[in-house]
Amino acid sequence: MLPWNRGVPMGRAVTTPPTSLPQQERIILPLPRGETPLVRVGDPVSRGQRVADGNGDPLPLYASVSGTVAALDTMELAAGGSCLALILQNDGLDTAADPLELPDDEDALWDSGVRLPGGRPLAQAVTQAAPGLDTLILSAMDREPWHCTEDAALCLDADAVAAGLAFLNRLLHPRRTLLAVGAGQHQAAHAAAPLDCTVMTVPQRYPLSHPQLLAESLGRLPPGQPPQEGDVLVLPVSAVAAFGAALQGTPPIRQRVSVAWKRGHALIDAPMGAPLSAILEAAAAPDGPLLLGGPMTGSPLRHADGPLVPGITSLCVLPPRRHRNGTPCIRCGRCAAVCPMDRQPWLGIGHCLHCGACRYVCPAAGYTPSKEEVLV
């Protein structure tokens, strides 16, 4: 069992009602995996209409607004690289397509178009888990401190979570179905009561919400073994809620984005393809270096002009960076005291989650990022 006293004690953003992004004049739907467009320039589209089919990982793409296909052009992505994209001119009418109808088998996972945070298809993760799975774990805990996307998915979309969970239980027949909630997530724990699963409370310490650690602590997975090899599947509640909504007729055309900065956070509900700059503006976030993800493990965002795409669930704005003179490791042992894998980071021994907890507590300036570069 994982020692619960490991990790960094961190606060948690309290979920508040999300702010809806004002209507955007143009919506950009990238096709980064070579998706095949099903519409042409000049075609009218309705909200929820299937506008592209997948290629490689065969996930479809659905229009998030109604309007007209204004262009099919190459665009630069915020995280780097470029690809072909559908550009929709919003007509402001919000005309809806017919409700989505999914098959009653595992093909529903692919046709739903749902992706996990980070972009991996939900269908890929589920189909790798064989029927007769030992433990299915849903996590309502956000991976990073001060974000609240997963908490909001359970608190605000409990009916959709229940629909998605019922489908997964029927498909996988797990021996145990667990729901991981943080010790401070009282509203989420209350919302989970009607679900067909066992609620497990996890201490509010970073990075105990990491899927590997949840699989080891709750699913009794041997340390260091990948969950899929140990008959344990860990899924974020937000993806299960999105799949449940697709089963109920609504494809993943909107996404909540948790925006965090030092001493502030906001939850924005936005259509897929909306500019990230508009999301940051709606959040009233300050200027500063941007991260795709959270303060501990997020990756630099090149610019905020790119669109919201499936898998982007959190953004972080850092304070301006300050130059610090580097000092060597002083062998103080603080990194070992917080390491969730009980390793000695300065020696590089043992399995590493790359969670950043050791860097956060390290007092050696330059050896790790300044604490002023993360949220405190």
Per-residue confidence of the chain (376 residues) as pLDDT tens digits? Answer: 455 667 776 666 667 789 999 999 999 999 998 899 999 999 999 999 999 998 767 799 999 999 999 999 998 877 778 899 999 999 999 999 999 999 999 999 999 999 998 889 999 999 888 777 899 999 999 998 888 999 999 999 999 999 999 999 999 999 999 999 999 899 999 999 999 999 999 998 899 999 999 999 999 888 878 777 778 999 999 999 999 999 999 999 999 999 999 888 999 999 999 999 999 999 999 999 999 998 888 888 878 888 999 889 999 998 876 555 557 788 888 888 888 888 877 776 667 888 888 888 888 754 444 444 344 3
Per-residue confidence (pLDDT) for residue 179, from 0 to 100? 97
pLDDT (0 to 100) of residue 324 = 54
Bridge partners (DSSP) listed for residue 206: 8
How many angstroms separate the Cα of 19 from the Cα of each of 48, 148, 269, 286, 327?
Answer: 21, 13, 6, 17, 44
pLDDT of 149? 94
Q: Which candidate, 365, 336, 338, 307, places its Cα nearest to that of 90?
A: 307
Which one, of 159, 348, 373, lies nearest residue 250 by Cα? Answer: 159
> What predicted TM-score, i.e. pTM, was given to this entire model?
0.92
pLDDT at 56: 67
Tens digits of per-residue pLDDT, 267-292? 999 999 999 999 999 999 999 999 99
Spatial distance between the Cα atoms of 251 and 242, rounded to a whole number of angstroms: 8
Q: Do you find a cis peptide bond into 207, omega within 30 degrees of 0?
A: yes
**pLDDT recorded at residue 51:** 98
Q: Do 261 and 287 contact (CB within 8 A), yes or no?
A: no
- Given a contact cutoff of 8 angstroms between Cβ atoms, the answer to whether 200 and 180 are in contact is yes
Percent of the chain with pLDDT over 90: 60
pLDDT at 150: 95
The secondary structure of the chain, three-state, reads CCCCCCCEECCCCCCCCCEECCCCCEEEEECCCCCEECCCCCCEECECCEEEECCCCCCCEECCCCEEEEEEEEEECCCCCEEEEEEEEECCCCCECCCCCCCCCCHHHHHCCCECCCCCEHHHHHHCCCCCCCEEEEECCCCCCCCCHHHHHHHHCHHHHHHHHHHHHHHHCCCEEEEEEECCCHHHHHHCCCCCCEEEEECCEECCCCHHHHHHHCCCCCCCCCHHHCCEEEEEHHHHHHHHHHHCCCCCCEEEEEEEECCEEEEEEEECCCEHHHHHHHCCCCCCCEEECCCCCCEECCCCCCECCCCCCEEEECCCCCCCCCCCCCCCCHHHHHCCCCCEHHHCECCCCCCCHHHHHCCCECCECCHHHCCC
The pLDDT, as a whole number, for residue 1 is 47
